[in-house]
Amino acid sequence: MKTGRRYAVRAAIINPAGPGRIDFIRDGELVFDRDGAVVHCGRRRTWRPPPSRLALPRGALVIPGLIDCHTHLSQYHVRGRTGHTLMHWLSSYVFPAEAAFRDRAYARRVADGFFGKLLSNGVTTAALYANYPAGAEEAVDAAERSGIRAVVGLTLMDRGVPRPLRQRPEQALEECRRLAEKIGKGRTGRLWLSVNPRFAPACSGKFMAMIGRFVRESGAYVQTHLSENEGETALVGRMFPGISSYAGVYDRFGLLTPKTLLAHCIHLSPAERRLVLKRGCSVVHCPSSNLFLHSGRFPMEHWRKYPKLCLGTDVGAGPSFSMLDAMRDAYFVNREPPERLFYCATMGAARALGLENRMGSLRPGKQADFSVVTVGENSGRNGRELLSDLIFKWDQVRFHQVFVGGRMVWPEKL
């Protein structure tokens, strides 16, 4: 039988095995074919014909591609701007920074830098917010160039933001349609469309109802922020007095679907949590951002067992592109075991995106999205310790190579 060309990576491998469990294979082997599909991930075998072996650094460890379920492309240069909580931080730094994305050449430069940063941190899939049609189109092109997988959405807002960022609803949805066409023409299968009503304070009921209809027709992902900050939550109560809760506002307009990614979810009532569960939405914990903006503590105790719990960096409220940093902050805040956090950043995220048959772990038939990393001296003796090294010894961790669908995408070949 002709098998076609295959490639092998021989290294220690950490794979998520279930929420809170990992598989660790010390002398492991990952084999994938030229289409980028995993053929084998486990103990070393004898292959006939032998696959091409990739050269690795000493002490190499292979982990599945990390998945960032919430980040803002247009906030690349906003990171680290301290001194405010959410609403003032948005108006002081974020809105002016996002307004710059009207300029296509600027948008293109930033998008290339942004995806390079993600890949260099072992992030092989990201769900992101872009701004302006030019900014979103450049995001799609830059994502295609970089080789990353991405859920890309235009940030939608028609009120409560400075005039240059305010959109006319009909026109904004026309731009979403054009973006859907552009993504559809890409043919790499690595990009997906989302629609991103920024948050209820920036969207009128009329606009959200139109977005809800668009979502029903297109089947697009929805990305939004929910209950991040107490002031924001109180504001939504005043803005939508006829609706009993913040989550209820999104539900009224058809925005809570199994393909909805809800970032933060810090201050939800029990009834809101039940609603989110009933609709099957994904919950994105953004620990670094929550710490940075003093937004509050994510109540992990309510979501610990939820299979669609995932993590986001929330760049630029989150100062780091690294999902390892997000995992570390979640450990400090929630004391959640590293194995559970690793699951959130890999399989949980894949489930959150409904792409668990394609990504999230290295198993036969899935795509070979992975990183080759080293954790430096005095490394752990077993999987649990090595995973802790990855998360906590950030000054020793190095990403050497990153692959998406079996193709090396970082560092870029010259």
Residue 228 contact among Zn ion, ligand GUN, none, beta carbon within 5 to 8 Å by kind: ligand GUN
Residue 198 contact among ligand GUN, Zn ion, none, beta carbon within 5 to 8 Å by kind: ligand GUN
CB of 175 to ligand GUN, least distance (A): 19
Residue 251 contact among ligand GUN, Zn ion, none, beta carbon within 5 to 8 Å by kind: none
CB of 228 to ligand GUN, least distance (A): 5
In single-letter form, the type of residue at position 113 comes to G
193 or 317: CB nearest ligand GUN: 317
Residue 199 contact among ligand GUN, Zn ion, none, beta carbon within 5 to 8 Å by kind: ligand GUN
Q: How far, in Å, CA of 202 to CA of 344, rounded? A: 29
Residue 40 contact among ligand GUN, Zn ion, none, beta carbon within 5 to 8 Å by kind: none
- The most distant pair of C-alpha atoms in the chain lies apart, rounded to whole Å, by 69
- Interacting span for Zn ion (CB under 5 A) from 94-102, 106-114, 167-175, 307-315: 307-315
24 or 199: CB nearest Zn ion: 199
What is the contact mask toward Zn ion in residues 313 to 342, using x (rule: CB under 5 A)? -x----------------------------
Q: How far, in Å, CA of 402 to CA of 120, rounded? A: 7
What DSSP line would sit under 126-183, residue for residue? EEEEE-SHHHHHHHHHHHHHHT-EEEEEEEE-SSSS-GGG---HHHHHHHHHHHHHHH
* Residue from 56, 49, 137, 72 nearest 403 by CA: 56
Query: Under the rule (CB under 6 A), what is the footprint of ligand GUN?
Result: 72, 86, 90, 94, 198-199, 225, 228, 289, 314, 317
Query: In 10 A of CB 52, how many CB atoms?
Result: 10
**In what side-by-side order are the strands of the sheet with 309-311?**
66-72, 123-130, 149-156, 191-197, 221-226, 260-264, 282-285, 309-311
CB of 86 to Zn ion, least distance (A): 10
CB of 154 to Zn ion, least distance (A): 14
CB of 169 to Zn ion, least distance (A): 22
Query: Do 38 and 31 contact (CB within 8 A), yes or no?
Result: yes
Q: Which residues bind Zn ion (CB under 5 A)?
A: 314
